[in-house]
Structure 1
Amino acid sequence: MQATPGTTGRRATTLADVAKLAGVSIGTASKALNGRQQVRAETRERVLSAAEQLNFSPNVLARHLLSGRSGTVGLVTHDLEGRFSIPTLMGAEDAAGTGKMSVMLTDARGDALREQYHVQALLGRRVDGLIVVGARPDPRPSLGTLPVPVVYAYAPSQDPRDMSIVSDNVGGGRLAAEHLVACGRERIAVVTGDPTYGAARDRVAGVTAVLTSAGLQLVGGQALYGTWSEEWGRTAAALLLAQHPDLDAIACGSDQIARGVLDALRESGRRVPEDVAVTGHDNWEVLALNARPPLTSVDLNLEELGRRAAARLFAAIEGEPASGVDQVDCRLVPRGSTGPRAS
């Protein structure tokens, strides 16, 4: 009788069959298939070739039971809309897929008690580690000592002994300002959101640093802080135009604010970008791509943030923990709202 794929005779292919075909011990075959460093390259190649020839695939559940792991990690988010957690989750799943690890998502809805409940529930499911995505990009309380590794994403832990992955908001502000200066803009204003957000202040600091290096000053001498809304963008832009009609660029702290700024500029008869260039922040595509004109925006690189958080977590699970804050570079996405000023 002909053997079917993955079988030897009438029985399922075993690790012993792979070891026999490769001419190694069962222990060596196991180490080779699990990527252990103690196996020489030529031996690993021989074992992998034998496993492929026999169509051998280790039983995932058995492998996890033997290792004392579940093969899953938990992701706890506070982002109700998914604007920040979904790209982070996608990046984490990309990284997890390469190691055959699955991600379980829970939503704490900005509630510390709900967060504790989800953490305990995930621990009850024997997850191998946790990624915690904050509601806002400001330091948050640590979960303390848990039986599994934890990595904080987007919002860093207040405890320097924890591992946190965040976006470089100062660098994001610099990118927007450098782009505007490169477009020949010299009368640049900043409209941003809630001043209690560290990210709002950091983005302003990045813009200011670039303008200072270029021998320029913010229009009005300081940034305008308000709310993260289109309404505030319209109000702030109208105020700026009334007091500084010669401004030629507005760097906004979010895409929502930028959409309101664009509305006010259009209503005032200013052309974008010929008269006034506008940048946003977050690269929230549902807003940026549907703006009139499409909005140049700073992307927080959240998928890379998620991938890096997952990589740090997997390293900790493997016994190589790290601590501190790791910053992920932002990137500028140019669109129609910026360009050279009309002569």
Structure 2
Amino acid sequence: MSNLISTGTSRAATLSDVARLAGVSTSTASKALNGRGDVSERTRARVIAAADEVGFTPNALAQSLTAGRTGTVGLLTSDLEGRFVIPILMGAEDAFGAGQVNVFLCDARGDTIREQYHLKALLNRRVDGIIVVGRQTDPRPSLGHDLPLPVVYAYAPSDDPADHSITPDNRLGGRLAVEHLLTCGRTRIAHISGDPTFAAAQDRALGFRDAMRDAGLSPVGETLFSSWTEGWGRNAAMLLLRQHPEIDGIVCASDQIARGVLDTLRDLGRSVPDDVAVIGYDNWQVLATNARPELTTIDNNLEELGRRAARRIFDAIDGEPLEGTVENLPVRLVVRGSTIALR
């Protein structure tokens, strides 16, 4: 069947035609044809049947979504070093679809003047939406609400509650780390964190304390805060183990800290994980998989975060307003040899 629909004149079928025939909104029709999960199977089948009836194709869907638009999205970041923005970008590109939407990557380097310059350049390019990626999970200044396009904040939430933000659930991550050590039989658990001015450090510490309290246990010593470095991990572990040699588990708020902890345990002749189990955070592959033993860690699900941010941009392009909210994206545990002896 040709990609035409009878409407008095011969013309290509549109997404609106599919939605009207299926009895759904244009946004729902788009989601159903894109395979997004927030549509019931019954509705999806009805939309697909309607698309078949009018001869609407996936290529026509891409054209419909970008009709009157540039087919480009801006990604504005301060983290071009890549630890966080690269996996988020990969997830966003995956959701946008190869070749359907182009992504312009702009690095503001933490400079507000440079950020405004890049924002102006993206607006001049008439991008269809902007994803703003922070380098840490502390709230960042909003770009404002007079922009003629949808904006989603990823990793770092906007400081304006009217904006839509998606950030990893660091409090859940701290809890998952403790719960995993408990399943490994550890009960004398300490916590070493990073810079106390970072929201991530405080949120992970809250999750740690919540899980210990719920298990009826007290942490070994207070949470130690300083920097996100291997050197701090080595020094903090030495301090803790001198004061509390009975420690059998250590939760670290970053993989860098955890690598330093492993160094100190090795120097002290303590076996990992037999004597002390160690868990990191961030699942930074170059650190976690090259540690000896390899690090169990918490993964922030950054690619999924990028995919979700892209879907929110799609939703807004489809006509759904972006609600002012902060989505806390669940994180996940990645088990390796620093907590469980893998044979």
Instruction: Report the TM-score range of the alignment, normalised by the length of the smaller protein.
Output: 0.7 to 0.9
Is 1:273 the counterpart of 2:255 in the alignment?
A: no
Is 1:81 the counterpart of 2:90 in the alignment?
A: no
1:285-323 superposed Cα distances (whole Å, 9 cap, x missing partner): 110000010000000000110111111111112221222
Q: Counterpart amino acid of 1:230?
A: E
Residues 18 and 51 in structure 2, CA contact (< 8 A), matched pair in contact too: no
- 1:30 Cα shift? 2.2
Q: For residues 226 and 25 of structure 1, do their structure 2 counterparts lie closer, same or farther at Cα, with a shift above 3 Å needed?
A: farther
Residue 13 of structure 2 is matched in structure 1 by 30
Q: Distance in 1 between matches of 2:255 and 2:10?
A: 56
Q: Distance in 2 between matches of 1:243 and 1:284?
A: 30
Q: For residues 88 and 235 of structure 1, do their structure 2 counterparts lie closer, same or farther at Cα, with a shift above 3 Å needed?
A: same
Q: Counterpart amino acid of 1:45?
A: D
Residues 31 and 39 in structure 1, CA contact (< 8 A), matched pair in contact too: no
Among the aligned pairs, what percent are the same residue?
Answer: 57
In structure 2, list runs of 5 or more residues that go unmatched.
23-46
Moved more, 239-248 or 96-105: 96-105
- Alignment of structure 1 residues 94-173 onto 2, 5 Å: 94-97=94-97, 100-145=100-145, 146-173=147-174
Q: Counterpart amino acid of 1:278?
A: V
Residue 43 of structure 2 is matched in structure 1 by none
Give the match's secondary structure for 2:314: helix
1:241-279 superposed Cα distances (whole Å, 9 cap, x missing partner): 111111001100000000000000000000000000000
Residues 74 and 104 in structure 1, CA contact (< 8 A), matched pair in contact too: yes
Compute the TM-score of the two structures, normalised by the length of structure 1: 0.86
Give the match's secondary structure for 2:315: helix
Residues 168 and 300 in structure 2, CA contact (< 8 A), matched pair in contact too: yes
- 1:47 Cα shift? 3.5
Q: For residues 247 and 26 of structure 1, do their structure 2 counterparts lie closer, same or farther at Cα, with a shift above 3 Å needed?
A: farther
Q: Counterpart amino acid of 2:84?
A: F
Give the match's secondary structure for 2:206: helix
Q: Distance in 2 between matches of 1:47 and 1:249?
A: 62
Is 1:208 the counterpart of 2:209 in the alignment?
A: yes
Residues 29 and 47 in structure 1, CA contact (< 8 A), matched pair in contact too: no
Residue 70 of structure 2 is matched in structure 1 by 70
Q: Counterpart amino acid of 1:131?
A: I
- 1:339 Cα shift? 2.7
Residue 248 of structure 1 is matched in structure 2 by 248
Q: Distance in 1 between matches of 2:200 and 2:259?
A: 19
Residue 37 of structure 2 is matched in structure 1 by none
Q: Counterpart amino acid of 2:19?
A: Q
Larger Rg: 1
1:163-217 superposed Cα distances (whole Å, 9 cap, x missing partner): 0000000000011000001111111000010000011011011111111111111
Give the match's secondary structure for 2:21: coil
In structure 1, list runs of 5 or more residues that go unmatched.
1-14
Q: Distance in 2 between matches of 1:63 and 1:97?
A: 12
Residue 339 of structure 2 is matched in structure 1 by 338
Is 1:237 the counterpart of 2:220 in the alignment?
A: no
Is 1:195 the counterpart of 2:179 in the alignment?
A: no
- 1:99 Cα shift? 9.3
Q: Distance in 2 between matches of 1:333 and 1:96?
A: 27
Is 1:47 the counterpart of 2:30 in the alignment?
A: no
Q: For residues 63 and 134 of structure 1, do their structure 2 counterparts lie closer, same or farther at Cα, with a shift above 3 Å needed?
A: closer
- Alignment of structure 1 residues 305-316 onto 2, 5 Å: 305-316=305-316
- 1:81 Cα shift? 1.4
- 1:35 Cα shift? 7.2
- 1:36 Cα shift? 4.2
Compute the TM-score of the two structures, normalised by the length of structure 2: 0.86
Q: Counterpart amino acid of 1:31?
A: T
Residues 165 and 309 in structure 1, CA contact (< 8 A), matched pair in contact too: yes
Give the match's secondary structure for 1:39: helix
Residues 299 and 333 in structure 1, CA contact (< 8 A), matched pair in contact too: yes
